[in-house]
Amino acid sequence: MSTKHCSINFEHITAHEQYKILAGSVVPRPIALITSVSKKGQVNAAPFSFFNALAADPPLVGFGIQRKPNGEPKDTYRNIIESGEFTVNIVSDDWVELMNICAIPFEETVDETCMAELSVQAGTLIGSPRVVNAMIALECVLFSEQSTGERGDLILGKVVMAHIGENLVNTDNYHIDQVGLDAVGRMGGQGYARTRDYFDLKSLKESELGTVDQVRVWADHK
Ligand SMILES: Cc1cc2nc3c(=O)[nH]c(=O)nc-3n(C[C@H](O)[C@H](O)[C@H](O)COP(=O)(O)O)c2cc1C
């Protein structure tokens, strides 16, 4: 199968156009609702989808955070730099609309978890609370911060504790029930995707590799 490609030099398009291509190409992106606390003790929550698990040892998660249109840092960034802590709450389908309320650019004095009627519980090892609706919450300490220029920053956090719904994790082998988690992903534009169309694709050893057609038959998921 051959596909004709439209090749776009990123030097010839605007930053917003670059963003649209990235956001529509790197999909689906997991969504972290990040909870953090300001110096004054104000709880904040906001979703981030330029987000992923980036290393296993040490266990690092990372996300990209843009500045506000007026060039000021978003509340999440300011809180993380000041406190050195944040919590990643994995967003599931049953509360995706509540996550969306937390994306509204409220004043820094507003607690988005209250606006979205999300219940929170105190963190165990850190000061940031976790969202009770989240089947998985990861308590993180700031590992590093990198400016990406005038418009944004990258944050890396080291996970120090995971809170996982008790029916979701097998504590003998630490497998997590992916169907039960029912995580949602962000697609391009205003699009989202569910993760219910789940299939296994077993890892191959070189000795098992016959023809590509055989491999397609083994996969047997289509
Ligand atoms: C699903 C979703 C994903 C988002 N991902 C990002 C992101 O990766 N980076 C970013 O800077 N803003 C992202 N936003 C926008 C922020 O959530 C929004 O600017 C929010 O108001 C920031 O809040 P804060 O000032 O309380 O930190 C996203 C919004 C939504 C709805």
Q: How far is the CA of 2 from the centre of ligand 1 (A)?
A: 37
Name which residue leads in pLDDT, 73 or 2.
73
Q: Show the DSSP H helices in the chain as ranges.
A: 15-25, 75-83, 96-101, 112-115, 178-181, 212-219
% of the chain at pLDDT higher than 90 = 87
DSSP element (H, E) containing 85 = strand 85-90
Q: How far is the CA of 92 from the centre of ligand 1 (A)?
A: 17
Tell me the best of 20, 34, 42, 49 to mutate to test the pocket of ligand 1, counting ligand atoms within 8 Å of each CB and taking the most: 49
The tens digit of pLDDT for each residue in 121-131 reads 999 999 999 99
The residues facing 169 across adjacent strands are 176
Q: Is the per-residue pLDDT at 171 higher than 70?
A: yes
Q: How far is the CA of 11 from the centre of ligand 1 (A)?
A: 25
- What does the pLDDT read at residue 220? 54
Tell me the best of 16, 44, 48 to mutate to test the pocket of ligand 1, counting ligand atoms within 8 Å of each CB and taking the most: 48
Q: Where are the domains of the chain?
A: 10-219
Q: Is the per-residue pLDDT at 7 higher than 80?
A: yes
- What does the pLDDT read at residue 207? 84
Copy the structure tokens of residue 53. Answer: 């698990």
Measured from the Cα of 68, ligand 1's closest atom is 19
Reported CATH class of domain 10-219: mainly beta
* Burial of 4: CB neighbours in 10 Å, binned 0-12, 13-18, 19+: exposed
Give me the mean pLDDT over the 32-47 stretch: 97
Residue with tokens 């308590």: 139
